[in-house]
Amino acid sequence: MANDMSRSAAQAAQIPDKRHGHSRGYGGPLRYVQGPGVLDDIGSYAAALSDRALVLMDGFVQDTYGPRVTEALEAAGVTVTALRFGGESTDAEVARCTEAARAAGVGMVIGIGGGKTLDTGKLTARNVAARIMTVPTIASTDSPTSAIGVIYTEDGVYVRVEQSPRNPDVVLVDSDVILKAPVRFLAAGMGDALSTWYEARSNLDSRSKNYIAGGYAPSIAGIQIARACHDTLMRDGLAAYDAARAGCLTPAVENIIEANTLLSGLGFENCGVSAAHGVHDALTVLEPTHDFMHGEKVAFGIICLLVLENRAPEEIAEAVTFCAAIGLPVTLADLGLAKVSDADLLRVGEAAMDPASVIHSVPVPLSPQKIAAAIRAADATATRLTGR
């Protein structure tokens, strides 16, 4: 997911709105454009939205692509206020960016970089009633397409989710830029994307609301997109990983960029998430996990979800084998938790049981003890399957 779904967004997802009844809801970005070199087209898409833009960029992105982006925007008649992202999507950072956007009188916010940059850009745009463009430079999360932004502490501990009233107007994905990033980012994106169908199924079984506005029943379109995400990963994931490691932009890599970004983004927002992200969120109470990317922790959370739901051994083995093949964590040791105590796992279980956590979309009774046991059991199963 999105980044993570919990608290306010989860509450919106699970509290039925009487106006909605049994209505179905579907949402997504207005435009999604992906391909090699499309970053140079940013001006034409931006100019259709506003002639004044706040451009929020990661430090590396600003140093590497900043002049290219500014030139393309200004050539299209867009006045640019460039701002360097502070590194963490905190309340203070959103407030700083909001102040800069108001001072510049912008009608559009463009976030360029990783998921936290994009989330901060989306929330900034919401705060100043501006249009939104997201330009991911890595395919490690499904944040770019959603209306959701995640807030963390300065130390990277999950705090809450906030929702914007609209999805991005344009999502611009330059596959050449994505390919230049370390392959670890692409693999992490596959971990996040792999959760899409498993968690959609949880929400369907528990009849939970999706994350569109106040929460609706999933549409056929949303469900099928979540399935297509899984099918694409199973077909092209390993080939894309190998090609990306070799620096080759193949059709498989393009398909996985789309799966990680568009299919997973639409799938989670239109169907919902559950224990893979619930475990991810709760694991942030253990400091060693802060060194790992969102999708890497979600990958381990998938195995925990499948154990909680007592899914078929073949399905668990498929997920473990796939994740291990692309270097994703599948055991506690992989997450720096080789010697984690039962007491610490119970802390994770207690954090996961927060009333607003998305873990409650799992269609089975839960308790802190059951969650802690599922984490330990998932580790044991993955250890046996991988021989680690």
Establish whether 138 is an annotated binding residue.
yes
Catalytic residue among 230, 294, 334, 379: 294
- Annotated catalytic residue 91: no
Residues 335-357 as b/e (b if ≥16 CB within 10 A, e otherwise) read bbbeebeeeebbbbbbbbbbebb
- Backbone phi and psi for residue 111, each to the nearest 5 degrees, phi listed first: -100, 125
- Backbone phi and psi for residue 163, each to the nearest 5 degrees, phi listed first: -120, 140
pTM confidence score: 0.92
The CATH number assigned to the domain holding 52 equals 3.40.50.1970
pLDDT tens by residue, 311-347: 999 999 999 999 999 999 999 999 999 999 999 999 9
Q: Are residues 373 and 293 in the same domain?
A: yes
- Annotated catalytic residue 230: no
Q: Are residues 135 and 219 in the same domain?
A: no
Q: Are residues 132 and 227 in the same domain?
A: no
Establish whether 153 is an annotated binding residue.
no
SS3 percent helix, strand, coil of the chain, rounded to 5, is 55, 15, 30
**Along the 388 residues of the chain, how does pLDDT read in single tens digits?**
544 443 344 444 344 444 455 799 999 999 999 999 999 999 999 999 999 999 999 999 999 999 999 999 999 999 999 999 999 999 999 999 999 999 999 999 999 999 999 999 999 999 999 999 999 999 998 899 999 998 988 987 778 889 899 999 999 999 999 999 999 999 999 999 999 999 999 999 999 999 998 899 999 999 999 999 999 999 999 999 999 999 999 999 999 999 999 999 999 999 999 999 999 999 999 999 989 999 999 999 999 999 999 999 999 999 999 999 999 999 999 999 999 999 999 999 999 999 989 999 999 999 999 999 999 999 999 999 999 8
Alpha helices by DSSP H, 146-219? 175-180, 183-206
Establish whether 357 is an annotated binding residue.
no
Catalytic residue among 280, 281, 360, 379: 280
| Distance separating alpha carbons of residues 180 and 175, to the nearest angstrom | 9
Domain boundary among 125, 157, 180: 180
Residue type, 48: A
Record the tokens describing residue 251, joined without a space.
Answer: 């059709």
Catalytic residue among 277, 281, 334, 360: 277
The CATH number assigned to the domain holding 210 equals 1.20.1090.10
Q: Are residues 36 and 110 in the same domain?
A: yes
Q: Are residues 160 and 139 in the same domain?
A: yes
Beta bridge pairs of residue 82: 55
pLDDT tens by residue, 163-218: 899 999 999 999 999 999 999 999 999 999 999 999 999 999 999 999 998 899 99
